[in-house]
Each structure stands twice: as structure tokens, then as C-alpha cells.
A = this chain, B = another copy of it.
Amino acid sequence: MTRPINEDGYELWLRYRRIANAEVLKRCRRQLTSIVPLGERSPGSSVLANATLAAAVAELRVGLSGLLGRDLPLGDDPSRAGALLVGRSGAAEFEEFQRPSGPAGAPLDAPGKDGFWITRSLQEPSRIAISGASDAGVLYGAFQLLRLLQTGDDLGAVSQAGAPRLALRVLNHWDNLDRTVERGYAGFSLWDWQKLPDHRDPRYTEYARACASLGINGSVLTNVNANSLVLTDPWIEKVAALAEVFRPYGLKVYLTARFSAPIEIDGLATADPQDPDVRDWWRRRVDGIYRKIPDFGGFVVKANSEGQPGPQNYGRSHAEGANLLADALAEHGGVLMWRAFVYDHEVPDDRAKQAFDEFTPLDGSFRSNVLVQVKNGPIDFMPREPHHPLFGAMPKTPLLLELQLTQEYLGCATHLAYLAPMFKECLDTDTGAAGPGSTVARVIDGSLHGHELTGMCAVTNIGTDRNWCGHPFAAANWYAFGRLAWDPALSSQAIAEEWLRMTFSNDTRFVQGAAQIMLDSREAVVDYMTPLGLHHQMAVSHHYGPGPWVSEGRPDWTSTYYHRADAQGIGFDRTASGSAAVAQYFEPLRSQYGKLETCPEPLLLWFHHVSWDHELASGKSLWEELCQAYQRGVDAVRTFQRGWAALEQWVDEARFAHVSDLLRIQEQEARWWRDACVQYFQTFSRRPLPVGYEPASKSLEELRALRHYYVPGINNPYVARTAKPKKASPRSEKRS
């Protein structure tokens, strides 16, 4: 078997290579002989007038031609054998196509907004129709049909309907206007502001295509630590150019709004939400944006958090702040996503409690076009957290789940960490808010409390790296987010296998081997970074590598605040005897988490301060289990290395080497985490390492002395040891 030719990952999961299985290929070639677009044509032309339908047809043309290994022509005879009909579901040509049947043979009905059917003709089964409830639905159906073929289906029995479970499926780019990306590990921002609006990089279109292929329908272009400049006219022109590129793909643009923008842009004296001039300013500014971008999505706001300005600067609540902007957006149909990730500049007894305490009293006081945007866990995108207690606790308010794809706390773009299992862990958790079955998924899909405005968003891991996300496996997280936002019920394994088949190979041996690595990968990171419920143990500021000893500065930004290790034991007591954060959860979780005996071990040290000698389910002491978890994490990475090596024949040399290189780095860094944490915690436990434990290659002192500069994703300069007196500052006019 010859090795596949080199790829650089740019095509993501939309590679459309010829179907490898000769039998399947033959059947598909017979099945598909022409594409017949249904819909209004542009005057005097055969091109579809609707840009979204045109994009769907173009994608099918390119995709099917690639998959079939020969040009698939456009046709105009919908009754011809092998015709693939494509259009809005109202078209008369679709009448003879059967609707797909449900599990019990019952007909499946219209799948709702932006849904699609892929069905076969009752009269001539070689004819297939993709019909959509909307233009976007047609596009999503087109991508679904392509996905079926890409993953090995021959369409012999195709009959299905699909529709997104959530209304808003949004990517958040933490991109700054200078093209740096906060927590970006895959190069720099895609948005080349300097050349916009005049030059539109073809990559913008590729980005929109990839998003549409997953059903993602919104893109927040700018960092939540916002810059008001983007709201000024010259920048809105640039944003409008991106919106125009994205529009055919059903992708709306959103911006982050800095609460103090009226002051910064136009010199207003205040940004108080009750000030009439301020209300007027936002209304005019938003009107101006919609004049340029009629389908502008809306704003995301981070306010009164980590130094960002907000309504509390003026003694107003988060609801008053949110409603100010929501009112300005409402008449244009825009939505406002107000982040619940807030914490006071005064250090609380437990940071985990703050969002809940601040937001639950506001339930019911937000405008109907506001979503409160809540991270999956109460701290901050840790490798493992319990679900955020706000889920289920604000029944009158739509909650938007915020996930993080960029691996701020999971090894940047150098560690292989497939995050779907982490996302699923949150989505599938039963909050108990309205009795059994009150899962986070049902909170955010609106079914639990009856909301129409629903959504999921994720901080992207996308940058200018040729393969988009840095690590060749990191695009799987973009993919998984899109698929879960479409349907939170999909399994991690199914998503991983889809992605692997589309990204690498349909060979079952490859798919099984690689999926195993993916499915085990997040737990490995938990093990070598923060096992048993530990959290927030990374180095200061850039969060790269271990820093369990970090104890200086604001307490709730330190590691010692979170691990609380002492001679007796380790862990954050969040029971009634401690911060009582556990009381924010509904029963039965409240009791389960609150008792040492019933608390799940993966969350043990999140909720309890536990004695080093406490016996765990295995019969081993906490100390032994802790040491073994760190070692297990390292061993897992070595297993990934061996597993990957065994897959060499199915992967091109370039991507194979890239992953191998990064796994080598991951193995080094897993050891670094293990050696730093175990040796550091040993200074408290004063207990020996378990028998057979792999010796550390560096002492604790050596590891503590390591300094890392210019870690991507944050401005992190090297500070010269000896400050020299400076000449008159040359930085503003350096010529070199």
C-alpha cells in the first residue's frame, strides 16, 4: 500500500478525496449523475439568484466531483435517473419524494427552522432530493449529504431529516485588532484589518464554508476584552466586508461591545445606562451598524470583570447594563450575549460562587433578546470542573453555554486533547433543577424552561496557522463544537469517528486506533495536570506548564488558593464547613457532592479538603492515588505515541510527523507536570512515593526556577534583569 500524499490540513474535513472503496464508488457513481438546482435564477443567467442556494450547489458540485472522481454536471431535468434535486422544500418537484420515516415507521415531520430532508423519490429511487426549510437548511442538507459520502455511506438507503437543536451556534474569536489573539496558539488572527474592506482574503470564504458545514451560524469577530475602536465607522466598513463574505454561508457577524465606548469614541461624560445621552448614543451607533450590516447578529459583552468597565461603575446592575444594549439592538432583531463570567475586584471567599450570587437575583429582569452567557464550569475552562451552578437556576432567562476550544488550560496547541468528552460531561449532567432529567443540554436547548432563544458558543482555537488550529488534531474540537451545537445528543465517539474519516481515512483500522487516542486524551490531560478534582494549578499569566506553588498576587488567582495543601491533606472545602459553594447546586447533587463518601472521585478535591491518608475506592490512600494519577497521565501519552506510530501507513508523512513531534512535546510536558506537582505536594504530604514510581528527571527547585517567555497567546515580555536607565524613549519613532 502506498503512503497517502502529503497534506497540510488546510482543507480541514472538507477534503472530498475520491471514495476509496471501489464498490461504494461504483454504486455512488450510478446513484448520482447530475445536480439539479431548483430555485429562481438571476435574470438572464443560469446562476441561482439566492446566494446561499448557489453556495450549496457549488459545494455539492465540488464535493461530489471530488468524491466520485469525475465531474458531476449540473442538469435541468429533475426526472432523470441519478438526478440530485436541491432546493427549498416548497418546490413542486419535491412532492413525489417520500418523507423519511421515524424509528417506528411514523413519518418524520418538518424539522423546523433551518432543517433539511435528504430523501429518495418514491417513483425512481435513483433520484435523491435535498430540501431545506430555509436557504440555510438547504446548505446544511448539502453538507450532510457530503458528510454521508465522506464517511463511507453509499446513499443506498438514505432517508433522513435534520435540524439544529439550538438557535445560536456561535464562535467567539478572542482576536485583537492588532491581530494578536488572546489565548491563541495557532498563529494570529485571520482578520487582516489593514487590507479590509478592499481586499478580502479568500481564506474568509473558506472559514465561512467550514463553519457552515457544521451549522455554525454566528461569528464574534473580536476579543471579549473589547476595544471600542471596532465600533467606529471605518472599522464597521471592514466588519461589513466580512459580513458580506460570510452571508451566503448563513454566518452572521457579532462584535464585542466595550461598555465605556460612548466615552472613548465620542467623549461622553459617562457610560451610565440610565443616562439619556448614553442610551441615545448606543441607539445611534447600533443604527449605524445596521445600515452597513442589515443582518448584524448583535453584541457580546464582558462587563465588570477583570478590569473591564460595566454598569456597576455607575451603581447599576448587570441587567440594567445588558438592557441598555439590548434595547438598542432589539428593533433590528439583534441579540445581546452578556457574560456571567464576572468577579469582583474584592477577593471573595470562593470565586466559584460569584457568578451565581450575582446573577440569580437578576433572573427575570433581562430583556427578551438577552442571553446570559455561562461557562461550562464555575471557575474557568479547567481540564475538569463540575457544571456551572447557574444552569437551571435562572429559569426565566435564556442561558448560552460558553465552551473553550482553544486549549488555554489543556496544553495550548501542542497537546492532543479531544474536548468533546468534556463538553458532553457538562451537557449530560443532570442539574436536578426541575427534577430528574434536567440536564444542562435541556437547560440550554430551552426545553426545560420553555425558551425559544437558545444557543451554545465557544472560544475558538482558529488562527493563521495553515492547518487553522495548530495541532493537526485540534480542528476536531472546532468540529465537535459545531456538531454538538447542532445536536447535543451526539456522542463523542461518533463525532470523533466522523471527523477522522473526513480528515484522514475511512479505513476502519485507522479510525478505531485514532479514535481511541482521541477519546482517552482529555482524561490523560486531567491526570497529568489536575487529577481528582484539583484545578487552577498552572503557571501565572500565560498558564503554560505547572505552577502549583504560585501563591503571590491576588489570592483567587493563585494555585495555593485552590489546592489548599497542608500537612493534613489537600483540596478546597466547598461544603457547609467551608465556602458552602456546594449549596448552589440542586438536590440530589448538592448532597452527593457535599458528602465525602458520595462525592465522585474525579471531583473529590474540588469539593473537599481530604486527608492524605483517606482511603479511596481502590483501597489506596489519597496520596498514593494522586501520585498514580499523575503517572497514569504520563503513561497515557506514551500509549498515544505508540498508538499513533502504529497508524503510520494510513497517514501522509507530513501530518504523521507533525503529530509525532507534538506527542513528543506532550510526553515531555506531561512529565514536567507530574514531576512539578508530585514533588511540590510531597513537601506537604511528607509521604514516600509509591513503589515503582518513575523518578523525576529534575528537582523541584529546578522546575520552580524555569521561566517561559513569549508563550503564545499573551503579551509576556522578557524583562531584563537589570533595569538600565533609558535614553529619551525611542519606541514611538523607531526606524531600525
Question: Which A residues are closer than 8 A to B by beta carbons?
Answer: 8, 174, 177-180, 182-183, 185, 187-188, 193-195, 198-200, 202, 223-225, 227-229, 260, 263-265, 267, 302, 306-307, 309, 341, 345, 380-381, 408, 412, 414, 459, 464, 466, 540-541, 553-554, 557, 654, 658, 661-662, 664-665, 668, 709-712, 714-718, 720-722, 724, 726-736
Cα–Cα, bound, A263→B725 (Å): 13
Interchain CB contact under 8 A, A661 and B200? yes
Specify which of B180, B199, B302, B717 is in contact with A661 (CB 8 Å cutoff).
B199
Please, which residues of chain B bring their CB within 8 A of the CB of A735?
306, 341, 380-381, 408
- A721 and B188 contact, CB distance less than 8 A: no
Instruction: For the complex, give the distance between the alpha carbons of A727 and B342 in Å.
Output: 14
Question: Is the Cβ of A715 less than 8 Å from the Cβ of B412?
Answer: no
- Chain B residue numbers with a CB within 8 Å of A727 are 307, 345
- Chain B residues in 8 Å Cβ range of A709: 177, 229
- What residue of chain B has the Cβ atom nearest to residue A6's Cβ? B202
CB distance from A536 to the nearest CB of B (A): 10
A464:B722 contact, CB within 8 angstroms: no
CB-based contact B736/A177 at 8 Å: no
A341-B736, A736-B341 as given contacts; A721 in contact with B541, CB under 8 Å: no
B188 touches A464 (CB 8 A): yes
Tell me, in angstroms, the Cα distance from A408 to B734 when the chains sit together. Answer: 11
The oligomer's copy count stands at 2
Given A179-B712, A662-B199, A306-B734 contact (CB < 8 Å): yes
Give, as a whole number of angstroms, the nearest-CB distance from A142 to chain B: 22
CA distance A194 to B728 in the complex (A): 33
Which residues of chain B come closer than 8 Å to A174, judged between CB atoms?
A: 736
- Contact present for A187 and B720 (CB under 8 Å): no
A710 touches B193 (CB 8 A): yes
Nearest CB in chain B to that of A185: its residue:
B194
* Chain B, Cβ-Cβ closest to A728: B345
Residue of B nearest to A187 (CB): B464
Which chain B positions have C-beta within 8 A of A179? 188, 710, 712
Query: Are B736 and A225 in contact, CB atoms less than 8 angstroms apart?
Result: yes
Residues of B contacting A264 with CB < 8 Å?
Answer: 720-722
Instruction: Please give me the 10 A-B residue pairs with the lowest Cβ-Cβ distance, nearest first.
Output: A307-B730, A199-B661, A264-B720, A306-B730, A229-B718, A557-B733, A178-B710, A177-B710, A263-B722, A345-B727
In the complex, A620→B80 CA distance in Å?
A: 76
Known: A227-B718, A712-B179, A733-B541. A414 touches B724 (CB 8 A): no
In the complex, A199 Cα to B709 Cα: how many Å?
18
Given A198-B662, A260-B720, A341-B735, 10 other A-B residues pairs in contact with their CB atoms under 8 A: A174-B736, A177-B709, A183-B736, A198-B664, A199-B662, A225-B734, A265-B721, A306-B735, A307-B727, A715-B731
17 inter-chain pairs at a CB distance below 8 angstroms, sorted by A residue, are A178-B716, A194-B710, A194-B711, A194-B712, A195-B414, A225-B736, A260-B724, A263-B721, A265-B721, A302-B736, A306-B730, A306-B734, A307-B729, A341-B735, A345-B727, A345-B728, A464-B464
> CB-CB < 8 A to A664: which residues of B?
198
Determine if A178 and B715 form an interchain contact, defined as CB atoms under 8 angstroms apart: yes
| Complex Cα–Cα for A735 and B188 (A) | 18
Expressed in whole angstroms, the Cα–Cα distance for A267 and B710 within the complex equals 21
Among the listed B228, B711, B724, which residue makes an inter-chain contact with A309, where contact means beta carbons less than 8 Å apart? B724
Q: Once the chains bind, are A731 and B199 in contact (CB under 8 Å)? A: no
Which residues of B lie under 8 Å from residue A265 when comparing CB positions?
A: 721
Q: Which of A223, A302, A306, A668 gathers the greatest number of chain B CB atoms within 10 Å?
A: A306
Cβ B540 vs Cβ A733 within 8 A? yes
A540: B residues at CB distance < 8 A: 732-733
Judge whether A732 and B553 touch: CB under 8 Å.
yes
> Smallest CB–CB gap between A405 and chain B, Å?
13
Whether B263 and A194, one on each chain, are in contact in the complex, defined by CB atoms closer than 8 angstroms, is no
Which of A174, A183, A732, A734 neighbours the largest number of chain B CB atoms within 10 Å of its CB?
A734
List of B residues within 8 angstroms of A341 by Cβ = 735-736
Minimal Cβ-Cβ distance residue in B for A720:
B264
Contact B721 A267 (CB under 8 A): yes
Residue of A309, A381, A720, A726 ringed by the most chain B CB atoms within 10 A: A720
Q: Compute how far the CA of A179 lies from the CA of B179 in the bound complex, rounded to whole angstroms.
A: 11
Out of B193, B541, B554, B720, name the residue touching A228 (CB < 8 Å): B720
Provide the residues of chain B in CB contact with A668, threshold 8 Å. Answer: 198
Q: How far is the CB of A231 from chain B (nearest CB, A)?
A: 11
Q: How far is A541 from B709 in the complex, measured between Cα atoms in Å?
A: 26
- Contacts A302-B736, A710-B178, A732-B540 given; indicate if A307 touches B721 (C-beta within 8 A): no
Counting chain B CB atoms within 10 Å of each CB, the highest count among A224, A716, A736 belongs to A736
Whose C-beta in chain B lies nearest to the C-beta of A177?
B710
Residues of the B chain whose Cβ atoms lie less than 8 Å from the Cβ of A381? 735
A188 to B463, CA, bound (A): 12
Q: Complex formed: what's the CA distance from A722 to B194 in Å?
A: 25
Closest Cβ neighbor of A544 among chain B residues? B194
Report the separation of the CA atoms of residues A668 and B182 in the bound assembly, to the nearest whole angstrom.
33
A224 vs B734: C-alpha distance in the bound complex, in angstroms?
A: 11
A22 to chain B, nearest CB (A): 26
What distance in Å separates the Cβ of A42 from its nearest Cβ neighbour in chain B?
20
Nearest CB in chain B: distance from A469 CB, A? 14
Chain B residue at smallest Cβ distance from A258: B720
CB of B195 within 8 A of CB of A665, answer: yes
CA A730 to CA B308, docked complex, whole Å = 9
The distance from the CB of A248 to the nearest CB of chain B, in whole angstroms, is 17
Could you tell me the distance between the alpha carbons of A239 and B76 in the complex, rounded to whole angstroms? Answer: 60
Q: Which residues of B contact A225 (CB under 8 A)?
A: 734, 736
Nearest to A712 among chain B residues (CB) is B194
In the bound complex, how far is the Cα of B193 from the Cα of A381, in angstroms?
A: 26
Contacts of A730 in B (CB 8 A): 306-307
- Tell me, rounded to whole Å, the shortest Cβ–Cβ distance linking A709 to chain B: 6
How far is B381's CA from A557's CA once the two chains are assembled, in angstroms?
47
Residue of B nearest to A726 (CB): B307
CB atoms of A412 and B194 under 8 A apart: yes
Q: Smallest CB–CB gap between A471 and chain B, Å?
A: 10
Most buried by B among A263, A265, A717, A722: A722
Nearest B residue (CB) for A729: B307
Q: How far is the CA of A726 from the CA of B408 in the complex (A)?
A: 26
Question: Is A661's CB under 8 angstroms from B724's CB?
Answer: no
Cβ–Cβ < 8 Å partners of A260 in chain B:
720, 724
Contacts of A721 in B (CB 8 A): 263-265, 267
Q: Give chain B residues whose Cβ lies under 8 Å from the Cβ of A554.
A: 728, 733
CA distance A736 to B714 in the complex (A): 12
Q: How far is the CB of A639 from chain B (nearest CB, A)?
A: 19
Complexed CA–CA distance, A195 and B665 (Å):
8
A402 smallest CB distance to B (angstroms): 10
Contact A654 B195, beta carbon cutoff 8 Å = no
In whole angstroms, how far apart are the Cα atoms of A185 and B199 in the complex? 14
Given A225-B734, A709-B177, A710-B194, also A199-B302 (CB < 8 A) = no
